[in-house]
Structure 1
Amino acid sequence: MYKRLISLLLLAVVSFNFCGLGALAQTYVRQGVNSYSPNYDSLVPKKLEASMKNAILHIYGKEKVDVIYPQIVKIIKRAKFQRSPELYEDDLKRDSDWYKEEVIYMFYPDQFGVDETGKPATFKTLIGMLDYLKDLGVTTIYILPFADSPMGDSGFDVRDPKNVRADLGGMSEFEEFMCAARQKGFKIKADLILNHFSDQHEWFQQALKGDINKLHYFIAREDMPEYRQYKDEKLGYMVEYKEKDGTISRRRLIFPEITDNHYRKVTIKGKDYYVYHTFYPFQLDVNWENPQVLYYMLDSVAFWANMGIDIFRMDAIPYLSKEEGTSAENLPKTHYVIQLISAFLQTVAPRSVIQAEACQQPKKILPYFGAEKKVEHNIKNNLKEITRTDEVQIAYHFPYMPAIWASLVTADNSYFWKAYKNTPKIPDSAAWAMFLRVHDELTLEMVNEKTRELLYDGLAPKGAAFRKGYGISGRLASFLDKNPDRIGMAFSILLSLPGVPIIYYGDEIGMPNNYANAKKTAKIREQKQKSQGKKNNTKMLSYFDSRDINRGPIKQKVFYDAMKNTETYNHKVYKRVQKLIRVRKQYPIITRGSFTEIKTESPEVFAYVRALNDERVVVINNLSNDKIKATVVFTDDDFGKKSKDVYLKDLLTDKMIRARAQSKKLTVRLNPYDAMWLKL
């Protein structure tokens, strides 16, 4: 027996370079080997134990703490027992806030780098894209949903959260990809979809067959409340429900084009039930007040943490709690659920962190970071202190996206600065995630009516309306008229602002909207829902999702041609983005430095200073299509009263730039849509 175990270990070292030990550890558990079991006397750090117990108390009640916590400890023991030496080593070595250094690249696994026939990619073929990503310079790969799914919502409708879609090559190809990515130094980000499951999930299918107990794993009721739909100028389309106790539940309707309320009727054994859904009718919200849901979800988190996921993007984070008489957004119990998950993850996988996905104003996002805590971990008998927030560590800053776009559309920096001034200070270890475009719409919910109109008028003709005017679908390049200079300047903003930048696949080579993909996807969605809808009593008002124009397949050849072929538009965009990433990584002042607004003499000049220790870099972006003299005004008299020429190094071109300096003012010449990062 021991000879066989030694052979297995040698095989892992040679074949996997430790990449596959997360899965291999499970084999060891089945064979009863405890070669790297943790010290169970220090299984859970005291502060994390207290956090979990407090969360259990507030979610399930005091009487449940001594019942639920021991069950969680069992999951923790199993997870730590199955954790590989490679991951334990990372737990020990990583800085608390390692994520602040990252440049994230996101893609759909079946759409990124498809072959010449257009056949969807698999994890095996995705290995062929790693050299491209390495050359681009990104550091973390964000793979959009890849768990087993019937693909009604691009993978966000999960059928089996501990399995990989067969069309992507299944678990074996996923592990092969993970190994190859790790060998090239990439970190991995993945979705953690905890608000809802597909109606094809085994729980719901068992409920439909008569297991009413499984219906309690979802938000289900026996009566359909009275409701009315109305429009809120700030929040968009709403539904108001009159509850039995007389309270009113006012809920945002996320997809007003698809459905007119939040309930789906099902009939089981001749009796009608109404099951709640925040999103599509085939995405049914789970019941977090059922402890069985909690155990199942924590086991899934541990599984993927032991597979090597570095960042978990927690999808639809504000909606976890659904108390009657509320908006079902940002409720106190939701925060306790997140605290519980965060403490659990920090216990089983200290190297990993959570990112919040919540389309909310920053003041509402701030509580999702929670409190910053120093926690002492015992990692294989080595003590390590980790300082992190006790809910999420990273959060999307949604208002920055429309604010940046408003500044780009109008050539007026004031839109960004207004959003910046409305952004609260976050804990030192926390970070905002920054983005220009993603797979979803450019949301218009969080801007005033005037800004919403100018964005809609300026960008909707270059893309498509979404949520009846409260969002715009479309790709970055289409919005910016496929102008390499303008695209490069937009990326200059993204990659020089404080926060963790996220690049959406294809944007770095200037790919335009894909209308054919939207039509094709709508047809597929219609066919699926018509066949399943009759069986499951699903009603949808429309099958077309305009967000699909900023999705769809891009061939591997297109990416590599953009990387190598110097004569193309795509190459021009690629080289600009690549250079920006390289400079960002080369100068810690960009990732770690302070951020200060600089006053300008004209609105088309968007400028700010990054400072670290005694170093300063001034970033100047020309938002306009004109050659300009850009004058920036510092707060200190840096240059003396006498006007003089100074020469400053532009980090983006490595050239010395002549500028005119006097007192607090610095003036440089910029070409249309130019960007400079000048070292002072």
Structure 2
Amino acid sequence: MRTLFIAFFAITLLNCPQKNYAQESTDKKWWKEAVVYQIYPRSFKDANGDGVGDLQGIISKLDYIKSLGVNVIWLNPIYSSPNDDNGYDVSDYRNIMKEFGTMDDFNALLKGMHQRGIKLVMDLVVNHSSDEHEWFKQSRSSRTSPYRDYYHWWNADKGKPNPRYSLFDVNHDAWRYDSLTNAYYLHYFSRKQPDLNWENPKLRSEIYDMMKYWCEKGIDGFRLDAFQFAAKDTTFPKFPDGYEKNFSLYYAVGPHLHDYLQEMNKEVLSKYDVMSVAEGAGNSYKDAHDMVDADRNELNMAYAFEGVDIPSNPKGYSVIHFKEVFSRWDSVFATKGWLSIFLANHDQARMVSRFGNDSPQFRELSSKMLTTFIMTMRGTPYYYNGDELGMTNIRFDKIEDYRDMSTLNEYKHQQNIGGDMQKFMDGIKYACRDNGRTPLQWDATKNAGFTSGTPWIKVNPNYKTINVAAEEKDQNSCLNYFRKVVALRNQHKVLVYGKYTLLDKKNPNVYAYTREGEGKKMLIVLNFTANTAQTDIGIAIKNSKLLAANYADGAASVNNSSNIVLRPYEALIYELND
């Protein structure tokens, strides 16, 4: 869950026993060694021809997923929903959206995954529900309804409450007037996504029971959507003018959030061997550590979203800044806690179009380079479906082609305020979430082999050359390179637990670092630019073993014992000798 321009994302894992912090970063856990593959079900594979991806479609591709070498799937919401925000508005937490299939389909999917050694993490939306959920229907029916306090209501008798900013509303007003009871309800996102009141213990009990329901089915974890916003100051005090420009400072990590996390851990997560992923790590390193310190019994793995927000416009970004951000977050969690690494998800445009270069000349090389980065940094890698192919932004020209609710509402908002519509359209071509949600490109047949019907959103026209079938046949494809680097990570645990050290810090083009531990030392050298670049890493590499290179002819030239000349977007992984 995010806006078009602002997002705050943290990956976390719960159910961690108290431990010696000095050893925490090297303690071996399955979730540290996992490679997580995110599936956006609506766009993955359609089995029944209605134009929408479904559970049977995923089942039909489980062998493909297994072939990637990944061992955890994060699945976006599949619960019953009217689809105001593509499933992030849940109307029934214990049922499956009809477009996606049935509970029998889900059971078959889970069984098929487990048979292949793949774990399942489900998305869980509990900051808010749909306004079509039975809880909300009852809540708005009467001021005396037993469900009234499941949501945040402000009686209009007292006048309108202090302003709150809505990320997805056309007018960005988070208070929606409801004439039935002459009151306003709160919605940080769409007006069809009323926020749940976590101060109500009955609500919390209902959510914990629902989580247990899925745990008993055998799932392996949850990703808690927008959860850092769940705790609120229910007196709703006045915020300073302009607060919406940095609303996270006021919305994130509110009163009792840690109490709720500790209670959730005690009531649900500590009772099952599950992984929990929470969106939001607060506003500071202290916020992050307060959620992940082991002795607090809350969370035990954090993700810093700062890195993925670096490329804010098509003009590019500073490689030095990129290195500084990722190195800083690594250092913060060097001895306790744990990081996750990712550059894309369903709320982002395509990775290669933002961080790399999606031109025909450099798309494959830069995609492979970014894959190398994700799979060789310390932390658990999260990889979004389709990026293994080097899929790119679609860049729609007409607003009618977009499907993202937040984009469509912002378009109306810009029209209402007389905004620069050409600037807006140029911006969404680069950043809109729909760029990452076009159907996965399976082959060169009609609709990229995604569906036999009319796809819910248009397929990228480049599917005839960028698709699974074509890349399976090419040993140098993005797909096969992804498999190779994932296999390297699975084979060499130094790439999981090893110490990270940045090299050639001030180089404006090259990102070089070592990973050291497990009796080994690895060197990773990445050229983030479309030009030839040079780096002096200060380490002799002539007699070292080259494990991976994204150019078909192998490594770049080595001018002397530590100087490397890199071709555009070149990526190298060496195993260093003593």
Please report the TM-score for the alignment, with normalisation by the length of structure 1: 0.66
**Native 8 Å contact 1:111 1:554 kept in 2:** yes
Q: How do 1:614-625 residues align onto structure 2 when only pairs under 5 Å count?
A: 614-625=519-530
**Native 8 Å contact 2:441 2:467 kept in 1:** no
Q: Which runs of 5+ in 2 are unaligned?
A: 1-14, 19-26, 240-249, 410-414, 418-424, 451-465
Q: How do 1:328-477 residues align onto structure 2 when only pairs under 5 Å count?
A: 328-349=251-272, 351-358=273-280, 360-363=282-285, 365-373=287-295, 390-403=297-310, 409-410=316-317, 412-418=319-325, 420-421=327-328, 425-426=332-333, 430-441=337-348, 474-477=349-352
- CA distance in structure 1 between the partners assigned to 2:157 and 2:193 by the alignment: 18
Q: Does 1:508 align with 2:398?
A: no
Select the residue among 563, 570, 574 that pairs with 1:674: 570
- SS of the aligned residue for 2:147 comes to helix
- CA distance in structure 2 between the partners assigned to 1:203 and 1:566 by the alignment: 48
**Native 8 Å contact 1:317 1:358 kept in 2:** yes
**Native 8 Å contact 2:165 2:172 kept in 1:** no
Q: Does 1:274 align with 2:181?
A: no
| Paired AA for residue 388 in structure 2 | E
Q: Which has the higher strand share?
A: 1
Q: Does 1:317 align with 2:227?
A: yes
Relative distance call for 1:525 and 1:499 in structure 2 (3 A) is closer
**Native 8 Å contact 1:115 1:555 kept in 2:** no
- SS of the aligned residue for 1:212 comes to coil
- CA distance in structure 2 between the partners assigned to 1:336 and 1:213 by the alignment: 24
Counterpart in the other structure of 1:236: none
- CA distance in structure 1 between the partners assigned to 2:554 and 2:131 by the alignment: 58
Counterpart in the other structure of 2:124: 192
Q: Which has the higher helix share?
A: 1
| Paired AA for residue 499 in structure 1 | G
Relative distance call for 1:597 and 1:306 in structure 2 (3 A) is same
Relative distance call for 1:259 and 1:424 in structure 2 (3 A) is farther
- CA distance in structure 1 between the partners assigned to 2:383 and 2:365 by the alignment: 17
- CA distance in structure 2 between the partners assigned to 1:523 and 1:671 by the alignment: 38
Q: Does 1:573 align with 2:478?
A: yes
- SS of the aligned residue for 2:83 comes to coil
| Paired AA for residue 337 in structure 1 | Y
Relative distance call for 1:571 and 1:167 in structure 2 (3 A) is farther
- CA distance in structure 2 between the partners assigned to 1:123 and 1:601 by the alignment: 48
Relative distance call for 1:506 and 1:615 in structure 2 (3 A) is same
**Native 8 Å contact 2:292 2:337 kept in 1:** no
Select the residue among 208, 214, 233 that pairs with 1:298: 208
Q: Does 1:254 align with 2:167?
A: yes
Relative distance call for 1:184 and 1:568 in structure 2 (3 A) is closer
- SS of the aligned residue for 1:610 comes to strand
Counterpart in the other structure of 1:64: none
**Native 8 Å contact 1:648 1:659 kept in 2:** no
- CA distance in structure 2 between the partners assigned to 1:116 and 1:163 by the alignment: 19
- SS of the aligned residue for 2:487 comes to helix
Please report the TM-score for the alignment, with normalisation by the length of structure 2: 0.76
- CA distance in structure 2 between the partners assigned to 1:267 and 1:566 by the alignment: 56
- CA distance in structure 2 between the partners assigned to 1:407 and 1:605 by the alignment: 20
- SS of the aligned residue for 2:182 comes to strand
- CA distance in structure 2 between the partners assigned to 1:652 and 1:293 by the alignment: 51
- CA distance in structure 1 between the partners assigned to 2:381 and 2:199 by the alignment: 35
Q: Bigger CA drift: 591-600 or 117-126?
A: 117-126
Relative distance call for 1:346 and 1:429 in structure 2 (3 A) is farther
Q: Bigger CA drift: 565-574 or 670-679?
A: 565-574
Give the Å deviation of 1:168. 1.1
Give the Å deviation of 1:265. 1.0
- CA distance in structure 2 between the partners assigned to 1:409 and 1:225 by the alignment: 49
- SS of the aligned residue for 2:179 comes to strand
Select the residue among 546, 549, 556 that pairs with 2:435: 549
| Paired AA for residue 611 in structure 1 | E
**Native 8 Å contact 1:302 1:348 kept in 2:** no
If you compute each CA radius of gyration, which structure gives the higher value, 1 or 2?
1
Relative distance call for 1:497 and 1:485 in structure 2 (3 A) is same
Q: Percent identity?
A: 24
**Alignment size in residue pairs:** 494
- CA distance in structure 2 between the partners assigned to 1:331 and 1:222 by the alignment: 22
Give the Å deviation of 1:97. 2.6
Per-residue CA deviations over 1:119-175 (Å, capped at 9, x if unaligned) read 222212211111111112211111101111111111110111111112211211000
Relative distance call for 1:559 and 1:165 in structure 2 (3 A) is same
**Native 8 Å contact 2:124 2:224 kept in 1:** yes
- SS of the aligned residue for 1:519 comes to helix
Q: Does 1:138 align with 2:70?
A: yes
Relative distance call for 1:406 and 1:432 in structure 2 (3 A) is farther
| Paired AA for residue 351 in structure 2 | L
| Paired AA for residue 501 in structure 2 | T
| Paired AA for residue 163 in structure 1 | N
Relative distance call for 1:493 and 1:484 in structure 2 (3 A) is same
**Native 8 Å contact 2:501 2:514 kept in 1:** yes
Give the Å deviation of 1:420. 2.8
Select the residue among 487, 492, 495 that pairs with 1:587: 492
Q: Does 1:201 align with 2:133?
A: yes
- CA distance in structure 2 between the partners assigned to 1:224 and 1:652 by the alignment: 67
Q: Which runs of 5+ in 1 are unaligned?
A: 1-44, 49-94, 228-240, 243-248, 374-388, 442-473, 529-539, 640-644
Give the Å deviation of 1:575. 1.9
Give the Å deviation of 1:353. 2.2
**Native 8 Å contact 1:618 1:677 kept in 2:** yes
Relative distance call for 1:148 and 1:139 in structure 2 (3 A) is same
Relative distance call for 1:97 and 1:259 in structure 2 (3 A) is farther
Give the Å deviation of 1:673. 0.6
Q: How do 1:153-232 residues align onto structure 2 when only pairs under 5 Å count?
A: 153-210=85-142, 212-223=145-156
| Paired AA for residue 193 in structure 1 | V
- CA distance in structure 2 between the partners assigned to 1:598 and 1:214 by the alignment: 57
- CA distance in structure 1 between the partners assigned to 2:381 and 2:286 by the alignment: 21
